[in-house]
Structure 1
């Protein structure tokens, strides 16, 4: 069945026709994304992302796709089993016929043994429960009980282990400073703030996974004056079988960049310390598997020997044997051994950390040790129990810090500083001088030389956000060094069950891609392209490390363009600096992961999703819902566009992980088209000096491009339709599609007046134009996904026409449009549109043309070669790819992926004709 043959009657069907309370396999054939019949999947065996089972596992959630029509259910809870391991399952997305498209599964803590085979059937009970009252929520799992108040300063009021109160008052902290750092002739003052929870929502309540969402702001402490600021949203994830709670911390920056400087941002909790100080311990994770561990009152290394059994017990973190058996000289001298109350691990850069301790505030810090990169976990407690707190991407997000305070007191504090108070205060001001480029003419000149579009006030950081992930353990005893090391590995590299590329592909999700061909029998032409894609992916992994793309606001992004003369990316040249998703870098990484299953690619793509969805997008203020074009700072370019806030860049991660925060980010964008009139998203190059923007022809309409604007909104609407089944979003998509198809030049109109209320484009569309940017921000991927799902024949014809003619010979395009539009840019990128038309129209000659267009890229002609640069030419030796470009890398990679999937059967013939292989 072709996509156009998909009837409107079947399209309009919803899950109501199959409202079943259990999962029911479908009996008939299934329609895949490409319009071909595919069989049901029969094996869903999950694997560990890193290739082996973790030594410690605190629970995880993962998504699994299903072919269209295979499984049906409208129940909120689904029946799946995974051997004898507790699992909780629920619907994540639906196909248009109401069948399940994605299911989410929460796996309990405790490392599962054997094969991770997901099957239909009754799951093993989880044992996690949630009780609610007007003032608090209690989560119980085995001997762990967590108490979450519904308002106030504490996120978690207390946690008990086997009846013992071990943790108290988990809170958020922020430090405000009224200047950056003290200058030689000035001073700065700091003000402290604490979390104030205003609402708590129970999103899930067991039996394997409970999720609580806490919203609030940071309020000034004590009598200090100051307004509430830094609104936050924190999710707490509890898993049966786990000793910990996962914390996902998100906040929005809403200060005055000229007056409010974040001097510290942290998560802190109190720990009950009931053991003798020689039985109290502090642990820090070090480099690799390393652990730093010491007692509050150490008894090793003394002038007098207490006895080996005592030293062994303290090093292991166990209670000392009865003191009566200790050497008398040591017994008598215990009172003179200092009690070390405060400990800090400070990682001020990605390249170094230090550990220091002191007896108490007001006394000197004593340096202990240091290293390069710590994994980000701290413990404080004793033989009777304690608390460990870890921060994911610890050294990558530097400056960061881990603290223990008051370890010699009855209540200690452990703190993970997401932004360290030891570093200079966070500076969110513009890097530009006041009064720079005030006039339009000056701004055009600046754009032409630095490629960054600037207008005063449009380079504001107000409204950007950041999400951090933490893990908090409540333990019954001090962990051994090995156990603590295993915990630290879970903080730095959380274990994830994942489906194989073959299993993901069998479900027919995410459009046109195939699993990577790694066989020894692949043809030379395919090997050439597969190897080239691997080289480019590996190079970007190197670039993150070689050029230290780390830091609180930066980690997860890559740079836009390279300067081979300096052997540096153009970090200081306006629009050539941070990439901000330019030309769909996010999608390139995600599709590369889908087809390879590589853990390193997943982790880079995950970091990018966390960054680009938060930092590069406004979540409050006049630009809310829009992202910022690439620039020297992530928010410095004045072009605010949906192409950056694009939900297409988040949805793959969302479906693979069921991550609620990313789900929130996509949902934020649903009505952003209604705000388009508030922000002129066009760049200055589209105007001439002295001209004003042309007003829309009718009230209530705004000018919108089909690709960079409408195509970005479509991703959010599609995701919401899939998640909820709400036909409002499907209808809005179809309205836009059909109205594009009704214009005289259809997709070749490039843009048209748009009505946010109806989702329709208006006007004759009789002025043909080609923008190479229109197709490179996800609309190709979205069209591939949407056309098999919706009944929009006019759009299908328009899109196939655009795909066929975008790269067509100029004479053919002139005959179609009656106007010479010149040679389009990004011909190799456009080759995947040619391939799409060739596949769906079964045109082998067009398929060969697609490969010729693809081969025109310099990517296969030497620009991918690397060279070693060392000596005085660079700060450190590096492996350089002189011709590297993120625009080209992302789009060439996406074109390679889609071309292989669509017209791979003609590759060998085309490659031989081009002389690429013999």
Structure 2
């Protein structure tokens, strides 16, 4: 039953007692229930490279992840490898991670149950040697060196090397193009390994992490972090490839970035096969073709080549054909270039120095290439291939003893990557001028602070070592996996039952009012999905993000107008997508949210340099705005994906944020605020760092919602993942000190001591900001407050939630001044709903529902067609859409059905 308001306030005043919390958070079942998993796309794949996923558990349910088993439909045991991902405060497991083996004909249903895990028929094994790590998967031995340039030295099967010298490669030139320089100087770089860490050793999956740089003759740059995933039953290694761009934008123009492998070529030229996955079907040819010739070698020879088998004994060739065999040109090089999301071109040539000919054009290639023979070969595939353009697949020198197979993440055939600022200074050399620019274009510009140096990008690839040329069905299965990687996921109802991720509920047919809200949320989500495709929001740096604000005059998003262009997580778009997925389990929402998580956690955040740990406010380029803040690097935007998938790279990104508050010692977020801004930039010239004025060393000014709340998300996640109380105590220190401030949450922010984690001064004045509660702090507080006993802080937070949207007259009577800064009232309706739920206050609940319907976004939106085949929703901004969606989800979860339907 809900607590009364009087009981809550009395407990807060007495400094003790806990708030009344929903029973779902406090209860724990007496046994370990089974957890059902489902394929995200509805059906099992024809071929699966192996699955990894997270499973949530109610508090107190599970103590050891190793005591979990897996079974398919009908009760057949499945091999499984399990490990803990997160813990509840009582030490029980909150999230467990699991890996299942690869194979054809994956089970339609999977269940995780209590029991002894089955071992795979061929367990993955890891052997540590002095100079390399040897991973054995079935009959294949993979050798991973600890030093040198190759991230995989070789893959051998029965003593036969199938591929060797897998390495990362890069090219750079010193000017953008021939338009800007008479001559272009180019440098080549190859991976140099600094460290190899073994993270998992089987039996189902082994994981190696490799860190290094791209090294050339003169210098090393482009730090990389690479994970190799070896899975029982799979002839492929999954590669998660992350690279940091740390170049000089004025002089470093990346003209190629890729992963390359060398493939020994055995057999005659006509027995060497090339396969490239196009939009539909395979481009299948031989190095030396035997079809379509003037003289016919015979059906047996032609069909064998088409099938990828060895041709019959050459002695059986027709007498007139045999002497002509060596006169057929051998095509050694094949290239598939996807220059945009809308088209690819496939060419081939006999060799370097010879003209290429066009083989095929098409729309969207699936991103898989194979080269080999009946004696062995290799394939490489890249997820999101056409979405990450410009990309390229190269097969080179297939007519020689060793072919080269390369997946280019940035295609050499494309214009070089240009990371320079899109604009010049335009006289904005002091803060007043920059503020004037902000006032017209909404861009927070500052010379030198629009640099991309330190941002990153992650790509997912697979590389196969194969004993022979696979048949068409097998390669189609590989191509389908690459183009749309299958995923096993826990059903929304079981995620909800575990009591994780705060205040959300499954869609419920409570009546027409709730159903109308659900329809509008679906309309908005569908509109953004459609806009990604209609507006082609794709590309190496852009894939995963959406635009911020629409321009109805141009029937175009404001892609070229300062802070109105790319969204960069502004007002929690990531969370809107993830909570919408959690409620529905819809595949298209998962994939959209996954792409956004990959983008916003890498491209919009700095991973090296003076801004490491901070993200960039929305802008024309993802890095072009000078406001660098924790609200964008926010771990709250990554954690849902991490726990659903167990993705180690996203885990790294969140862990890197636990000390990101230190960056604010030299980056003063509020340096341009009118009453604080000096008349000129700080000494040091363009790009100089700034420091908050008038504060002692180790103390920074910190806003509660946009900054501290984002830091709490990182600390809370680290506490969950490790059980280390240091991070819990740091959160509690901040909570207790906010509660002790004269104005508590109404101060908006105060001076924060980095060592103690406490707010140590300030907080005397009311300073309400509409941004304080719209960057994930509402969602993270809903998770943290039930787990940390901080009654005075809880009371302060509920007071903020209850009074932010209070009627102006009531506010004036209580605080003695008119309300200022109380914008985004519709978004804040969910705070009112939170307070109503916590206090059991029916009147507050009714007010919350009224606020939700009287805000920035109307109740009944419509999408209409406009010129050029586009679609628009009048007055739409991503700010309003994301916050409306989150308010809809949370108010429906928190308010009684009778309030929703009878208000």
Q: TM-score, normalised by structure 2?
A: 0.94
Please say if residues 751 and 762 of structure 2, whose CA atoms lie closer than 8 Å, have aligned partners that are also in contact: no
Secondary structure of the corresponding residue to residue 762 of structure 1 = strand
Q: Name the structure 1 match of 2:191.
A: 195
Q: Name the structure 2 match of 1:124.
A: 118
Q: How does 1:167-178 map to 2 (within 5 A)?
A: 167-178=163-174
Q: Name the structure 1 match of 2:467.
A: 476
- Establish whether residue 84 from structure 1 lines up as the match of residue 84 from structure 2: no
1:824 Cα deviation from its structure 2 partner: 1.3
Q: Name the structure 2 match of 1:181.
A: 177
In structure 2, list runs of 5 or more residues that go unmatched: 681-690
Secondary structure of the corresponding residue to residue 512 of structure 1 = coil
How far does the alpha carbon of each residue in 1:66-96 deviate from its partner, in whole angstroms, 9 at most, with x for none? 00111113x7x44323342211001110000
Q: Cα 1:697–1:128, aligned 2, differ >3 Å: closer, same or farther?
A: closer
Q: Name the structure 1 match of 2:109.
A: 115
1:213 to 189, 209, 214: 209
CA distance in 2 between counterparts of 1:344 and 1:436 reads 46
CA distance in 1 between counterparts of 2:292 and 2:191 reads 42
CA distance in 1 between counterparts of 2:237 and 2:48 reads 12
1:228 to 216, 220, 234: 220
Q: Name the structure 2 match of 1:279.
A: 271
1:683 Cα deviation from its structure 2 partner: 6.3
Secondary structure of the corresponding residue to residue 828 of structure 1 = coil
Q: Name the structure 1 match of 2:584.
A: 596
In structure 1, list runs of 5 or more residues that go unmatched: 12-29, 914-918
Q: Cα 1:797–1:39, aligned 2, differ >3 Å: closer, same or farther?
A: farther
1:97 Cα deviation from its structure 2 partner: 0.5
Please say if residues 85 and 112 of structure 1, whose CA atoms lie closer than 8 Å, have aligned partners that are also in contact: no
1:322 Cα deviation from its structure 2 partner: 1.9
CA distance in 1 between counterparts of 2:671 and 2:34 reads 50
Please say if residues 696 and 753 of structure 1, whose CA atoms lie closer than 8 Å, have aligned partners that are also in contact: no
CA distance in 1 between counterparts of 2:53 and 2:488 reads 7
- Establish whether residue 734 from structure 1 lines up as the match of residue 727 from structure 2: no
Q: How does 1:289-328 map to 2 (within 5 A)?
A: 289-328=280-319
Please say if residues 33 and 788 of structure 1, whose CA atoms lie closer than 8 Å, have aligned partners that are also in contact: no
CA distance in 2 between counterparts of 1:184 and 1:101 reads 56
- Establish whether residue 582 from structure 1 lines up as the match of residue 570 from structure 2: yes
For structure 1, which segment, 160-169 or 554-563, has the greater mean C-alpha deviation from structure 2 after superposition? 160-169
- Establish whether residue 96 from structure 1 lines up as the match of residue 84 from structure 2: no
1:37 Cα deviation from its structure 2 partner: 6.7
CA distance in 2 between counterparts of 1:787 and 1:909 reads 29
Q: Name the structure 2 match of 1:266.
A: 258
Q: Cα 1:449–1:377, aligned 2, differ >3 Å: closer, same or farther?
A: same
Q: Name the structure 1 match of 2:862.
A: 865
Q: Cα 1:2–1:61, aligned 2, differ >3 Å: closer, same or farther?
A: farther
Q: Name the structure 1 match of 2:884.
A: 892
Please say if residues 32 and 62 of structure 2, whose CA atoms lie closer than 8 Å, have aligned partners that are also in contact: no
- Establish whether residue 446 from structure 1 lines up as the match of residue 437 from structure 2: yes
- Establish whether residue 373 from structure 1 lines up as the match of residue 384 from structure 2: no
Q: Name the structure 1 match of 2:489.
A: 498
Q: Cα 1:373–1:340, aligned 2, differ >3 Å: closer, same or farther?
A: same
Q: Name the structure 2 match of 1:16.
A: none
Q: Cα 1:297–1:764, aligned 2, differ >3 Å: closer, same or farther?
A: closer
For structure 1, which segment, 338-347 or 321-330, has the greater mean C-alpha deviation from structure 2 after superposition? 321-330
Please say if residues 847 and 906 of structure 1, whose CA atoms lie closer than 8 Å, have aligned partners that are also in contact: no
Q: Cα 1:626–1:442, aligned 2, differ >3 Å: closer, same or farther?
A: same
Secondary structure of the corresponding residue to residue 616 of structure 1 = coil
Q: Cα 1:463–1:689, aligned 2, differ >3 Å: closer, same or farther?
A: closer
CA distance in 2 between counterparts of 1:891 and 1:114 reads 37
For structure 1, which segment, 298-307 or 571-580, has the greater mean C-alpha deviation from structure 2 after superposition? 298-307
1:522 Cα deviation from its structure 2 partner: 4.5
CA distance in 1 between counterparts of 2:537 and 2:664 reads 32
Secondary structure of the corresponding residue to residue 828 of structure 2 = helix
1:902 Cα deviation from its structure 2 partner: 0.6
Q: Cα 1:733–1:321, aligned 2, differ >3 Å: closer, same or farther?
A: same
CA distance in 2 between counterparts of 1:121 and 1:179 reads 61
CA distance in 1 between counterparts of 2:150 and 2:17 reads 51
Q: Name the structure 1 match of 2:238.
A: 246
Please say if residues 8 and 791 of structure 1, whose CA atoms lie closer than 8 Å, have aligned partners that are also in contact: no
Please say if residues 2 and 36 of structure 1, whose CA atoms lie closer than 8 Å, have aligned partners that are also in contact: no
Please say if residues 734 and 758 of structure 2, whose CA atoms lie closer than 8 Å, have aligned partners that are also in contact: yes
For structure 1, which segment, 156-165 or 129-138, has the greater mean C-alpha deviation from structure 2 after superposition? 156-165
1:670 Cα deviation from its structure 2 partner: 0.6
Please say if residues 453 and 684 of structure 1, whose CA atoms lie closer than 8 Å, have aligned partners that are also in contact: no
Please say if residues 28 and 58 of structure 2, whose CA atoms lie closer than 8 Å, have aligned partners that are also in contact: no
CA distance in 1 between counterparts of 2:593 and 2:787 reads 27
1:820 Cα deviation from its structure 2 partner: 1.6
CA distance in 1 between counterparts of 2:564 and 2:256 reads 30
1:160 to 156, 170, 174: 156
CA distance in 1 between counterparts of 2:100 and 2:692 reads 55
Please say if residues 67 and 117 of structure 2, whose CA atoms lie closer than 8 Å, have aligned partners that are also in contact: no
CA distance in 2 between counterparts of 1:699 and 1:816 reads 37
Q: Cα 1:40–1:761, aligned 2, differ >3 Å: closer, same or farther?
A: farther
CA distance in 1 between counterparts of 2:679 and 2:173 reads 43
- Establish whether residue 144 from structure 1 lines up as the match of residue 140 from structure 2: yes
Please say if residues 212 and 237 of structure 1, whose CA atoms lie closer than 8 Å, have aligned partners that are also in contact: yes
How far does the alpha carbon of each residue in 1:302-328 deviate from its partner, in whole angstroms, 9 at most, with x for none? 111221222111111111122222322
1:183 Cα deviation from its structure 2 partner: 1.4
Q: Cα 1:694–1:459, aligned 2, differ >3 Å: closer, same or farther?
A: closer
CA distance in 1 between counterparts of 2:77 and 2:27 reads 37
How far does the alpha carbon of each residue in 1:276-297 deviate from its partner, in whole angstroms, 9 at most, with x for none? 111111111101x421110010
Please say if residues 512 and 901 of structure 2, whose CA atoms lie closer than 8 Å, have aligned partners that are also in contact: no
CA distance in 2 between counterparts of 1:34 and 1:837 reads 17
Q: Cα 1:515–1:328, aligned 2, differ >3 Å: closer, same or farther?
A: farther
CA distance in 1 between counterparts of 2:719 and 2:78 reads 32
Q: Cα 1:53–1:743, aligned 2, differ >3 Å: closer, same or farther?
A: same
Q: Cα 1:823–1:620, aligned 2, differ >3 Å: closer, same or farther?
A: closer
Please say if residues 453 and 683 of structure 1, whose CA atoms lie closer than 8 Å, have aligned partners that are also in contact: no
Q: Name the structure 2 match of 1:825.
A: 823
Please say if residues 284 and 379 of structure 1, whose CA atoms lie closer than 8 Å, have aligned partners that are also in contact: yes
Please say if residues 466 and 553 of structure 1, whose CA atoms lie closer than 8 Å, have aligned partners that are also in contact: yes
Q: Name the structure 1 match of 2:533.
A: 545
CA distance in 1 between counterparts of 2:126 and 2:259 reads 24
Secondary structure of the corresponding residue to residue 795 of structure 1 = helix
Q: How does 1:56-71 map to 2 (within 5 A)?
A: 56-71=47-62
1:607 Cα deviation from its structure 2 partner: 0.6
Secondary structure of the corresponding residue to residue 748 of structure 1 = helix
CA distance in 2 between counterparts of 1:827 and 1:181 reads 50
1:10 Cα deviation from its structure 2 partner: 13
Secondary structure of the corresponding residue to residue 297 of structure 2 = coil
Q: Cα 1:10–1:105, aligned 2, differ >3 Å: closer, same or farther?
A: farther
How far does the alpha carbon of each residue in 1:218-275 deviate from its partner, in whole angstroms, 9 at most, with x for none? 111xxx4x21000111000010011100001111111111111111001000001112
For structure 1, which segment, 439-448 or 398-407, has the greater mean C-alpha deviation from structure 2 after superposition? 439-448
Secondary structure of the corresponding residue to residue 857 of structure 2 = helix
Q: Name the structure 1 match of 2:790.
A: 792
CA distance in 1 between counterparts of 2:714 and 2:729 reads 13
Q: CA RMSD in A?
A: 2.1
CA distance in 2 between counterparts of 1:883 and 1:821 reads 26
Q: Cα 1:40–1:580, aligned 2, differ >3 Å: closer, same or farther?
A: farther
CA distance in 2 between counterparts of 1:691 and 1:548 reads 42
Secondary structure of the corresponding residue to residue 78 of structure 2 = coil
1:492 Cα deviation from its structure 2 partner: 1.6
